[in-house]
Amino acid sequence: MPLVPPPAPAVADGLAAVPDRTGLRVPPRAWPVRLSPIAFGGDYTPEQWPDAVRREDVALMREAGVTAVTVGVFAWAMLEPAEGRYTFGWLDTVLDRLAEAGIAVDLATPTAAPPPWFSTTYPETLPVARDGSTLGIGARESFCPSSSRYRDAATGIARRLAERYRDHPALAMWHVNNEYGAHVAGCHCPESERSFREWLRTRHGDLDALNEAWGTAFWSQRYQDWAEITVPRVAPMPVNPAQQLDFHRFTDDEFRACFRAERDAIRELTPDIPITTNFMATACPRMDYWRWADEVDVVANNHYLVAEDPEGHVELAMSADVARSLNDGSPWVLMEHSTSAVNWQPRNLAKAPGQLRRNSLTHVARGADAAMFFQWRASRAGAEKFHSAMLPHGGTRTRVWHEVTALGSDLSALREIAGSRVTAEVGMLWDWESWWALELEYRPSIDVTYLDAVRRFYAALWRRNETVDFVRPGADPSKFRLLVVPSLYLTTPTTAAVLRTYVEGGGRLLVSFFSGIVDEHDAVHPGGFPGPLREVLGLWIDEFHPLPAAAAVHLDPAPAADTRSRLRLRATVWSEEVVCEGAEVIWRFADGPDCGLPALTRHPLGAGAAWYLATRPDGEGVDRVLDLVLADAGITGGRTPEGVEAVRRASPLGSYLFLVNHGPVDTTVPGGGVDLLTGERWADGVRVPAGGVTVVREDRTADGDTHR
């Protein structure tokens, strides 16, 4: 990202340009107006508390500057204590008080937690694990996504809520269910099995096509009758990978059908209120959120730091960038994060002073127009009592409470940034289907995982302040100067064709190893590797040579290559025998099974070039790869002192530079403008205190340059 602010975008680039979807009153990606300008609050579970506490809640929310809360997420048993008997009175009072206090409500349907009476009356709605055991009650999310009984009941309670609160002044947005697919990887009950067969009929048409797609001639798996097909079960050996992949797709579709059923019931009654559900962008490998993004009015995301990960803030940035990309670049809702420790990791480290502010404002920097938490008040009882909250057990004298109220003030000071957008020059392909397929059993190496592949490039780009937009496979990437494609194991001919057109049109493409291997049925592309990417990359691969655990290989610049690097670099996990067919060799393996053979190549094609990386370099190696590839793409970027993250949001109103200092030293970054958080004016360099955040409305002249 250049440190010089860009010229002001034309108004047409702003939110107004979002296309309308015929038939819908809420255009997709339209910001829920009642959450404007920047929503601040969290999950509110008043059903846990006596009325005196609920009254205090509203008073303290006002004190903290809370503007919005999510109510009712797991309240089914408190709203319908027995079948057909509703107790909405307490919720009426809660919503009335919130409305009176000017606090908007993201009203949740409680369907992620069917009550015990429901599960015991209808035990067939409980999910069944792969080993055939029925998952019990006493937790939450105990439902089979294919159960028609569950779907009817869920749609029923959603409709009741919409009927009752359709005109409530506090109602700002609907929040359907909670983190679909987070805890149930798929249901293996008889009803799911029947639905799976139906789903397969629709997908494959007839049994011959299914047998062909699944390669059932191998291992005597040929099906003669639909009734023979099962959901994947515990079996003596890995179940057919194409069958498993279809089961992933089916499960994803079934959860989405649950969402749609509730959404449509609600939409009928409140066509003007946006509807969403909360995603876990980088943390739920089971849902294809590209498809989910097509269904929601605005993307809402949850993010929890892995507390022991020293680079957790980089993963946080990645999650935020995925969320923004799912929402087509428009402002998205950070629905949940934590004020301090969570309760479900092996060691639940508390956030250090200042970390809450850095975390929340990083999400905002990356396009969130909301900073919401799980949860408002810490629970005294139940499974999550050791989870942090906005209002901790110790109340208003705690450090966390002070940091929370300070964040409320920060967000209020930042209100003019609402609606502004983040721009990126680098795109990165992100594909859930390929992730599912890559991590099935019997791959060349268990050390190759999708998130690792993506994170290595993302982290290197983060270190250089290159903001990344994630790109859906098959989508047109031509607005990016560089497109990174980390280990795209499953590559369809359509995706490959888009990549080729992109390069021919002048784009720079960087593809990493184990890409282009299989088609949508997990069958190896005819002719070997990298299948449909062979032409664009100008090479083929004779054999994979995965490395033993803890083994390393080294890489040297190829003698003839034009490279700035004279370092010997180290790589692990993977090596392979690359045969060039037009690509030039930039680096070679200096040792290991492919000693002397290409490790990094560049293939000029049309007006662009495609790079290929045949191994997994250490962090420094990825940095050096990016030196070359970014230079080739003409991206110069703006470096900040180490550990200082820089992201820009811009709108016709202004250009806003967010600087987040993750390091222990006060620092100054070139530039100038008005500090929105302190009101200070920076004329010759913007100061970012150690562990702090600075947001400046940048000075700019008509041509987009700084004031200097």
Site string for ligand GAL, 381-420 (x = CB under 6 A): ---x--x---------------------------------
State the nearest-atom distance from the C-beta of 590 to ligand GAL, in Å: 45
How far apart are CB 531 and ligand GAL at their closest, in Å? 37
Minimum Å gap between C-beta 183 and ligand GAL is 9
Angle formed by the axes of helices 241-269 and 190-204, to 10°? 100
**Is the bond into 375 cis (omega within 30 degrees of 0)?**
yes
Smallest distance, ligand GAL to C-beta of residue 342, A: 5
Closest contact distance (angstroms) between CB of 175 and ligand GAL is: 10
C-alpha 415, offset from chain centre: 24
Report the alpha-carbon distance of residue 360 to residue 316 in Å, rounded. 10
- Fill in the per-residue mask, 128 to 167: x = in contact with ligand GAL (CB under 6 A), - = not in contact: ----------------------------------------
Cβ-closest residue to ligand GAL?
Answer: 374
Catalytic residue among 80, 179, 262, 433: 179
Written as one string, the DSSP assignment of 647-696 is EEEEETTEEEEEEEE-SSS-EEES--EEETTT--EESSSEEE-TT-EEEE
Nearer to ligand GAL, 286 or 648 (CB): 286
Question: With binding defined as CB under 6 A, does residue 342 bind ligand GAL?
Answer: yes
Residues 6+ apart with CB under 8 A from 253: 199
- Name beta bridge partners: 68: 41, 104
Cβ atoms 306, 343 nearer than 8 A: no
Nearer to ligand GAL by C-beta: 338 or 423? 338
Measured CA to CA, the distance from residue 77 to residue 686 in angstroms comes to: 53
CB 151 within 8 A of CB 174: no
- Residue 336 among the catalytic residues: yes
The residue from 179, 297, 315, 425 that contacts ligand GAL (CB under 6 A) is: 179
Under the binding rule (CB under 6 A), the answer on residue 337 touching ligand GAL is no
Structural tokens at position 75 = 């309240």
Residues 6+ away with beta carbon under 8 Å from 268: 162
Nearer to ligand GAL by C-beta: 373 or 682? 373
What is d(CA 407, CA 403) in angstroms, rounded to the nearest whole number?
6
Q: C-beta of 76: minimal distance to ligand GAL in Å?
A: 14
Footprint of ligand GAL on 79-98 (CB under 6 A):
none
Site for ligand GAL in 274-313 (CB under 6 A): 302, 304
From the CB of 384, what's the least distance to ligand GAL, in Å?
A: 6
Using CA atoms of 609, 613, 614, 618 in order, give the dihedral in degrees to the nearest 10.
170
Q: Using CB under 6 A, which of 178, 243, 301, 492 touches ligand GAL?
A: 178
Shortest distance in whole angstroms from residue 633 CB to ligand GAL: 37
Residues 108-127 binding ligand GAL (CB under 6 A) are none
Distance, CA of 95 to CA of 110 (rounded, Å) = 16
Residue with Cβ nearer ligand GAL (196 or 374): 374
Of 80, 315, 336, 698, catalytic: 336
Sign of CA dihedral 466, 469, 473, 478: negative
Binding marks (x or -) toward ligand GAL, 655..684, rule CB under 6 A?
A: ------------------------------
Question: Closer CB to ligand GAL, residue 125 or residue 178?
Answer: 178
Q: Which is nearer to ligand GAL, 213 or 280 (CB)?
A: 280
Q: How many CA atoms lie within 13 A of 113 on its CB side?
A: 16
For the chain, how long is the longest CA-to-CA vector?
Answer: 79
336 sits near ligand GAL (criterion: CB under 6 A): yes
Phi then psi dihedrals of residue 455, to 5 deg: -65, -30
Q: In 100-143, at which residue ranges do the beta strands (DSSP E only) sit?
A: 104-108
Residue 660 CB, shortest distance to ligand GAL, in Å, is 22
Name the nearest CA neighbour of 109 among 156, 39, 54.
Answer: 156
Q: Tell me whether residue 36 or residue 178 sits nearer to ligand GAL (CB atom).
A: 178
Amino acid at residue number 75: A
Nearer to ligand GAL, 116 or 386 (CB): 386
Binding positions for ligand GAL, 358-387, rule CB under 6 A: 374, 384, 387
Only one residue has tokens 């990493």, namely 512
What is the 8-class DSSP label of residue 109?
Answer: P
Distance CA 393, CA 377 (A): 8
> Would you tell me how many other CB atoms lie within 10 Å of the CB of residue 531?
22
Pick between residue 280 and residue 482 the one whose CB is nearest to ligand GAL: 280
The size of the interface with ligand GAL (CB under 6 A), counted in residues, is 9
Residues in 552-571 that interact with ligand GAL by CB under 6 A? none
Residues taking part in catalysis: 179, 336
**Which residues contact ligand GAL by CB under 6 A?**
178-179, 302, 304, 336, 342, 374, 384, 387
